[in-house]
A and B are shown apart, each in its own frame.
Chain A
Amino acid sequence: MSPARTVLAIALAALAAGCGRPRPVLHVFTWADYIKPELVRRFEREHGCRVVIDTFDSNEALHAKLQAGARGYDVLTPSSYMAAVLRRQGRLRDLDHARLPNLRHVDPDHLRRAPDSEMVYSVPYMITATGIGWLAHRVPDAEPSWTLFDRSDLRGRMTLLNDMRETLGAALKLLGHSLNSTNEAELAAAADVVLRWKRNIAKFENEQYKSGLASEEFFVVHGYSGDIVQAMESNANIVFAVPREGAPMSCDDLVIPVDAPNPELAHAFINFLHDPAVAAENTEFIGYLCPNKDALPLLSEDTRSNPAIVVPAEVRDRCEFIADLGPALSLWTRAWDRIKGGQ
């Protein structure tokens, strides 16, 4: 075979690998390892189809890609705020509730606080909370409260998230305000609180805090529940709690793009994920909570009593979803700059 033909053959093979087979194909665009593989295989068997999973690494990257015109995906899992943006831009399809009988299992308490509470275009898939992880044997008297960061005896052994919305949001919750506040005075007071905390913490940190907590370099960390659940696996002394003043929660939603090639299968997939047994199995696998009220009794005792996965109801009532700030964003960035630049 001539070199030119070899190249052509390989190019064609590469193209063929991307094309469909006779079985219908469902294309899911999501985070890596965000659905238990056994469940995907079960869905393939039950619906005689093939599921192809592709992954993105941030909501913004997903948005940029769709905005440039990428098509061909049937189901996406953006976070709620990004789902709202995509909806505003007319990229998401209205859901056909007749094809989604399992939506009756979705937790109404979660929907009450969700941006799309009627599930017009999105179905909640997984929720996580931000909170505090600490080492029980190093800080035996710790209380699940944001005031923990005021303790100067733990100076240099604590970290806060390097994230404007999370950290200023925590301070706003401590002061009893909404974490989506756009009030200048409230924000200024919150910035003062974070400046006070800044004197006690080792650093603002988004990644290393997991391993730092596991190796006991840090005693108290501000972090995402899923990360801290992973750290617990390495260190049995780790405790996690959502502070009693409340905290930001975030949710990834299942949505169907308007130009989905296979909307029927996409509906079947969303319905499948909210089957209580499936939702429970998925929750155990991922370590986040699928807001499905009938899945709760099916969770293992360990999972159900883990406050990092199932946030106790009285705290959950004080949690909020991070919402778009609109024009107030500049107020926030100014407050955050003052914190990062201040001594």
Chain B
Amino acid sequence: MRRSRWPPVVTAAVLVFLWLPIAVLAANSFNRSRFGSSWEGLSLRWYRALLADADTWRALRNSLVVGVGATLTSLALGTSAAVALHRHRSRLQRLHYALVYSPLVVPDLLMGMSLLVLFVALGADLGLGTVYLAHTTFCVSYVAMVVLARLQDFDPSILEAARDLGAGRWTVVRRVLLPLLAPGLAAAGLLAFTLSIDDFVITFFVAGPGATTLPVRVYSMIKHSRNLPAINALSVLMLAATFTAVRASRRLLQEDRP
């Protein structure tokens, strides 16, 4: 039987579709011109503009603080929720499931508005703290769903075997459950971080004075800013940082193996 020529073609097409916009963005970050449609020569102009742009760096810092904070909190809460949902079945748990699930289907606009109204009613000062709480709220659902999926093809008898062999409850969690869940936790954490880093709608509503995050700033720059292409430069730097982190983690994981 002859092998079809289609799979490599489709693979190539998908890769181009995924990576071409990023390649264009990277190329444009070195374009002297403000507009992507014309090439006016190689230049580091937008990198210089970015370097001098204190507001963008402050926004990036805010995004990272919120992203890391919301990821860690939602990992803890979401994983506990998933374990509870997996282990116990009752009417109350069905309600619990619905509550954890619903933020996934509630539109962002509604969620942002209602959280804002809630914070105002509670008399909370809007700021990075409220952004962190809001992000944790929606990240918990995603984490719980990802971890729950991991738990579903998880053999509970392993835990029982560990107990039989004399491990304490905490040792079982630490030495058996968490290592087995680790890939799911890593995936959930990355997903939560990504969602937090690029959320705009909810953030805009719950952010208070001094809590502008990167997406909120970028949206506002579209209207007036002469510095908008500096965002291309920032994206390239962020991509580079991501690739470096992925490579480094691969290295570390490989070294771990015998």
Binary contact readout B203-224 vs A (1 if CB under 8 angstroms, 0 otherwise): 0110111111000110111111
Which of A14, A18, A32, A33 has a CB less than 8 Å from the CB of B208?
A18
Which of B40, B207, B220 has a CB less than 8 Å from the CB of A57?
B220
How near does chain B come to A265, taking the closest CB pair, in angstroms?
Answer: 13
Q: Is the CB of A55 within 8 A of B69?
A: no
- Is B157 part of the contact surface with A, judged by Cβ < 8 Å? no
Across the interface, which residues of B come within 8 angstroms of A72, CB to CB? 125-127, 208-209
Q: Is the CB of B128 within 8 A of A15?
A: yes
Which of B33, B127, B205 has a CB less than 8 Å from the CB of A15?
B127
Which of A3, A73, A210, A286 has a CB less than 8 Å from the CB of B224?
A286
How near does chain B come to A4, taking the closest CB pair, in angstroms?
Answer: 7
Q: Is the CB of B210 within 8 A of A54?
A: yes
Q: Is the CB of B224 within 8 A of A14?
A: no
Q: Is the CB of A33 within 8 A of B38?
A: no
In which size bucket is the chain B interface?
35 or more
Across the interface, which residues of B come within 8 angstroms of A212, CB to CB? 37
Q: Which of A134-142, A225-233, A295-303 lies at the binding interface?
A: A225-233
Q: Is the CB of A73 within 8 A of B209?
A: yes
Q: Is the CB of A211 within 8 A of B38?
A: yes
Give the contacts of B55-98 with A (CB-CB under 8 A): 55, 62, 65-66, 68-69, 72-73, 76
- Are A15 and B35 also in contact (CB < 8 A) when A33-B55, A70-B116 are? no
- Is A174 part of the contact surface with B, judged by Cβ < 8 Å? no
Q: Is the CB of B35 within 8 A of A32?
A: no
Q: Is the CB of B226 within 8 A of A33?
A: yes
Across the interface, which residues of A come within 8 angstroms of B220, CB to CB? 31-32, 55-57
Q: Which chain A residue has the least Cβ–Cβ distance from B212?
A: A54
- Are A52 and B210 also in contact (CB < 8 A) when A11-B129, A18-B129, A31-B223 are? yes
- Is B42 part of the contact surface with A, judged by Cβ < 8 Å? no
- Is B117 part of the contact surface with A, judged by Cβ < 8 Å? yes
- Is B54 part of the contact surface with A, judged by Cβ < 8 Å? yes
Q: Is the CB of B129 within 8 A of A15?
A: yes
- Are A11 and B73 also in contact (CB < 8 A) when A18-B128, A72-B125, A215-B38 are? yes
- Are A54 and B211 also in contact (CB < 8 A) when A31-B224, A68-B205 are? yes
Binary contact readout B13-37 vs A (1 if CB under 8 angstroms, 0 otherwise): 0000000000000000000011111
How near does chain B come to A36, taking the closest CB pair, in angstroms?
Answer: 11
Across the interface, which residues of B come within 8 angstroms of A70, CB to CB? 116, 120, 126, 205, 208
How near does chain A come to B229, taking the closest CB pair, in angstroms?
Answer: 10
Query: For the complex, what is the distance from the CA of A152 to the CA of B88, rounded to whole Å?
Result: 73
Which of B34, B37, B209 has a CB less than 8 Å from the CB of A54?
B209
Q: Is the CB of B209 within 8 A of A27?
A: yes
How near does chain B come to A8, taking the closest CB pair, in angstroms?
Answer: 9
Across the interface, which residues of A come within 8 angstroms of B191, CB to CB? none
Across the interface, which residues of A come within 8 angstroms of B40, CB to CB? 234
Across the interface, which residues of B come within 8 angstroms of A4, CB to CB? 76
- Is A184 part of the contact surface with B, judged by Cβ < 8 Å? no
Q: Which chain B residue has the least Cβ–Cβ distance from A70?
A: B126
Across the interface, which residues of A come within 8 angstroms of B76, CB to CB? 3-4, 7
Which of A14, A31, A64 has a CB less than 8 Å from the CB of B128?
A14
Across the interface, which residues of A come within 8 angstroms of B117, CB to CB? 68-69
Q: Which chain A residue has the least Cβ–Cβ distance from B52?
A: A37
Across the interface, which residues of B come within 8 angstroms of A233, CB to CB? 34
- Is B11 part of the contact surface with A, judged by Cβ < 8 Å? no
- Are A11 and B212 also in contact (CB < 8 A) when A68-B113, A72-B125, A234-B38 are? no
Query: For the complex, what is the distance from the CA of A217 to the CA of B126, rounded to whole Å?
Result: 46
Q: Is the CB of B204 within 8 A of A65?
A: yes
Binary contact readout B170-205 vs A (1 if CB under 8 angstroms, 0 otherwise): 000000000000000000000000000000000011
Q: Is the CB of B216 within 8 A of A55?
A: yes
Q: Which chain B residue has the least Cβ–Cβ distance from A6?
A: B72
- Is B227 part of the contact surface with A, judged by Cβ < 8 Å? yes
Give the contacts of A116-171 with B (CB-CB under 8 A): none
- Is B46 part of the contact surface with A, judged by Cβ < 8 Å? no
- Are A64 and B113 also in contact (CB < 8 A) when A11-B73, A57-B220 are? yes
Q: Is the CB of A33 within 8 A of B72?
A: no
Query: For the complex, what is the distance from the CA of A57 to the CA of B117, rounded to whole Å?
Result: 20
- Is B152 part of the contact surface with A, judged by Cβ < 8 Å? no
Interface centre among A10, A32, A71 (most CB of B within 10 A): A32
- Are A37 and B54 also in contact (CB < 8 A) when A11-B132, A65-B205 are? yes
6 A–B contacts, CB within 8 A, in A order: A3-B76, A7-B73, A15-B127, A33-B221, A72-B125, A211-B36
Known: A32-B55, A234-B38. 13 other contacts (CB 8 A): A7-B72, A11-B129, A14-B128, A15-B128, A32-B223, A34-B224, A37-B55, A53-B212, A57-B204, A214-B38, A230-B226, A233-B34, A287-B226
Q: In the A-B complex, list the 3 residue pairs whose CB atoms are closest, starting with the nearest.
A: A18-B127, A69-B120, A55-B220
